[in-house]
Chains A and B, each alone.
Chain A
Amino acid sequence: MALFLTQLMNGIGSGAVYASIALALVLVFRTTGILNFAQGEMALYSTYLVWFFTQRSVPVWIAILLAMIISFIGGALIERILIRPVEKASPLVLVIVTIGMFLAINSIAQVQFGNDIKILPRAYPNKTWLPGGVQISSDTLVLVGVLLAECLILYVLLNRTRIGLAFRAVASNPESSRLAGVPVGRMLMLGWAMAAAIGALAGALVIAPVGLQGASMQEILVYSFAAAALGGFDSPLGAVVAGLIVGVAGTMTTQYLHAVHDIELVVPFGLILLVLLVRPSGLFGSRRVERV
């Protein structure tokens, strides 16, 4: 039982990261209808920024905050400069643009910061508790805490502020919003900006314990995509719940499903495939109905 609960905690810890990145994917998808394959690499770049600042003796929490602010601005600029011109293009073009960004950002990060392993200072002490043999680490608690904070802030922002109202209006119907005087362009930028900032935070926290290098975010992105697909690409709540499900499914597979050991990645792929076949809108996504 203790083993089961420990693996559950491990799963929730990883799941919280997948959920954060999935949340970023959902924010972008809700506003611009794009699957941003570069989300993970944007987070990677932001994490390199955290490292860059800490190298210059900036305290780590301040470094994370600075990286989040820069990422917020960077995300908005990416939307304005790279995405806006192709906004109305076919999905294929958009997929190609974001995959191009995926490759470009990864390469730029490695050219700019080098390809050695970077060691990020931890933003909090590394502790492990073993109540009743169940292993709970400060990593898991911090990641879950940060995820909850993100959810709370997003909830308040989207549901309790004028900006949030405008944002939701744009997400639901950009044409009418434009007619009603909502600054649609700025809202789209806001979606990308928030996504980039969330990614920065998640990246910095998840990478600190394990060392930063060029491929740090790639496996995480795969799981986050599975989470976003499972939860529904337009549902923030879905992203969070599904992120945790995917994380727990991953650790439970490792622990109990020996048939797929050696190929754990089959779990997220299987989930993506299953969701697309059975319920393309995801668990929490709204089904699209078309009028013919």
Chain B
Amino acid sequence: MTDVRRGAGARRLRAAALGVAFVLVVAACGSGRSAPTSTANTTPGGSSTPGSSTVVDASQCTSNLTQGVTGDTIKIGTSLPLSGTYSPFNAILKGESSYFSYVNALGGVTVAGKKYKIQLVSKDDAYDAARTSSNVDTLINSDKVFGLFNVVGTKNNLGIRESVTYPNCVPDLVIASGAVQWGNTQYPFMLGSELVPYPDEMQVFVDYLKKNKPNAKIALLYANDDFGQSYRDTLKDLVNNTSLAIVKEASYNAEGSDVKAQVTSLAASKADTFVLGGTLLACPNALNAAHDAGWKPLIYMSGTCVSKLLFGLGGDGADGVLSVTPLMDPGDPANASSAAVQLYKNQVKKYAPDADTADGIVAYGWSTAALLQKILESSPKLDRVSVMETARTLKDVSGVGLQLPGSKWNTNKDDWFIGETFQLVKYNKAAGHTEKIGSLTDLDGKTASLAPKSLLNS
């Protein structure tokens, strides 16, 4: 006797097909790759108006250059993951909101002699570049913001390049990504934050290896998106013509954080050095997997993972891991006496009581907000072109947020990157915080030349 259920077979098959479609859609949303690449091959400064010392060409702008400034308020927009795999980056928002609340309580920022309150409009994009685009569209055209601030993610910012460039001229300031694409001179309205540019990270680590481990055999793990690709491409470039070698590489799905099989594969390569070009949970997962495999390489981990929480999750595998940071570690007792750290801790405790003040991600948000204030206050006029021009001509900026003592941030016509002064650090598990290795690294003005040209102009 056959199992008879009228139409059940066809019905279920159809449902299964729908299921596949759904699953495919979810995956497609996840694996959004980069925006269209431009073919231009310019060098920094190359697109500035001939015969002019300015970087930004105001004559190409048709938008209302003072949009978002009403009375004594400047409306600023941001888009970042508040849900999904990358939701832990919401800690950035806690840091920046605390800073703006703190500044507003003091009367606001002073631009051209007048005080303005900062109003931050934040939107969740779940790290999905398509949602970032739509958020940014809403922020610019409906919320009427003055500019964008600290939008998170490489592919997410690549996806909004056309919305912020000429003729819209919306400052996309202090982008939360260290990708070199922010040096593409076709897009002068985009500027990376104090995050260490990824090629600089690779440069300082390659220098470290040349000195301490000149024949290092490197295994590389990277996220399979534009972010991870930055590490892969620049590392490959820098290792060329040295005695260092990349012996094995593996990528992981950037929408997830399961890297166990990849790390097993890398561990088997007998590499003695491990570069981890991933972020958030993939970092501790990889450290744990390496530790479990009994693999004890010298490990370099992305600066985006410098966070008490992520180091903590890495357990024993996190001990001795190298990374870089442009900021003071708020979890390091040695910094506790710093006035900047005390201010940060007190204010974050006041305005975001649930945030962990020892966490580097919160400190990043706080410091980036301080950097925005610095840029706005240095601007001679409050309009989009002036502010962008100011951001592009920063001179020896110091003491911003938790900026490292002795660090100076510069930008100019030929230097499109801020976070080029930073500290190489090593995580000490027993102490529960990072420790400095050597003195500050200063690669000021060098990022564009360190990066593969194909990546810079992509």
Contact = CB atoms under 8 A, between A and B. Distances in A.
Interface of A: 3, 6-7, 10-11, 13-14, 33-35, 37, 91-92, 94-95, 99, 106-107, 110, 114-117, 119, 128, 130, 135, 137, 172-173, 209-211, 213-215, 218-219, 222, 225, 229, 233, 250-251, 254-255, 261-265, 268-269, 272-273, 276, 280, 286-291
B429 to A, nearest CB: 15
B5 A288 contact: yes
A33 B24 CA distance: 22
Contacts of B84: 214-215
Nearest to B82: A115
B294 A276 contact: no
B26 A222 contact: yes
A116 B224 contact: no
Interface stretch (B60-68, B178-186, B253-261, B433-441): B253-261
Contact of B253 (A7, A211, A219, A280): A219
B83 A117 contact: no
A290 B284 contact: no
B15 A210 contact: no
Interface of B: 2-20, 22-24, 26-27, 31, 82-88, 90-91, 224, 250-253, 255-258, 260-262, 264-265, 268, 280-281, 284-285, 288, 292-294, 309, 312-313, 354
Contact of B224 (A3, A115, A263, A290): A263
A251 B260 CA distance: 9
B15 A91 contact: yes
A6 B264 contact: yes
A135 to B, nearest CB: 6
A251 B90 contact: no
Main secondary structure of the interface of B (DSSP, over half): helix
Nearest to A275: B16
B347 to A, nearest CB: 19
B31 A263 contact: yes
A106 B124 CA distance: 14
B4 to A, nearest CB: 5
Given A6-B264, A117-B281, 11 more contacts: A10-B261, A117-B280, A117-B309, A128-B294, A211-B284, A254-B265, A263-B31, A269-B20, A276-B20, A289-B4, A291-B2
Contact of A33 (B8, B288, B313): B8
B375 to A, nearest CB: 29
A137 B292 contact: yes
Nearest to A2: B268
Contacts, number: 171
Contact of B13 (A116, A261, A276, A289): A276
Contact of B12 (A37, A92, A233): A233
B433 to A, nearest CB: 18
Contacts of A214: 83-85, 87
Contacts of B27: 222, 265, 269
26 contacts: A10-B261, A13-B260, A14-B260, A107-B83, A110-B83, A110-B87, A114-B354, A116-B90, A130-B294, A210-B284, A211-B281, A214-B87, A215-B87, A218-B26, A218-B255, A219-B253, A225-B23, A229-B19, A255-B264, A255-B265, A262-B251, A264-B252, A265-B31, A269-B20, A276-B16, A290-B10
CB-based closest 4 A-B pairs:
A288-B9, A251-B261, A115-B87, A219-B256
Which of B85, B255, B260 has its CB near the most chain A CB atoms (within 10 A)? Answer: B260
A119 B313 contact: yes
A135 B253 CA distance: 23
B4 A290 contact: yes
A99 B22 contact: yes
A65 B90 CA distance: 31
A210 B264 contact: no
Given A7-B264, A255-B264, A288-B9, A210 B257 contact: yes
A276 B264 CA distance: 32
A110 B82 CA distance: 9
A117 B90 contact: no
Nearest to A280: B13
Given A117-B309, A214-B83, A254-B265, A219 B16 contact: no
A143 to B, nearest CB: 12
Contacts of B22: 37, 95, 99
Given A107-B83, A110-B83, A115-B82, A286 B19 contact: no
B361 to A, nearest CB: 10
A250 B87 contact: no
B16 A215 contact: no
A116 B88 contact: yes
Which of A91, A107, A119 has its CB near the most chain B CB atoms (within 10 A)? Answer: A91
Contacts of A13: 260
Nearest to B355: A116
A11 B261 CA distance: 8
Given A213-B87, A222-B27, A288-B3, A7 B265 contact: yes
Given A214-B83, A290-B7, A135 B281 contact: no
Contacts of B16: 35, 229, 233, 276, 280
Contact of B264 (A10, A119, A250, A291): A10
Contacts of B31: 263, 265
B87 A94 contact: no
Nearest to B89: A115
A116 B309 CA distance: 10
A197 B391 CA distance: 55
A273 to B, nearest CB: 7
Contacts of A215: 83-87, 255-256
A3 B186 CA distance: 47
A213 B85 contact: yes
A222 B10 CA distance: 23
B28 to A, nearest CB: 10
Contact of A272 (B15, B20, B253, B294): B20
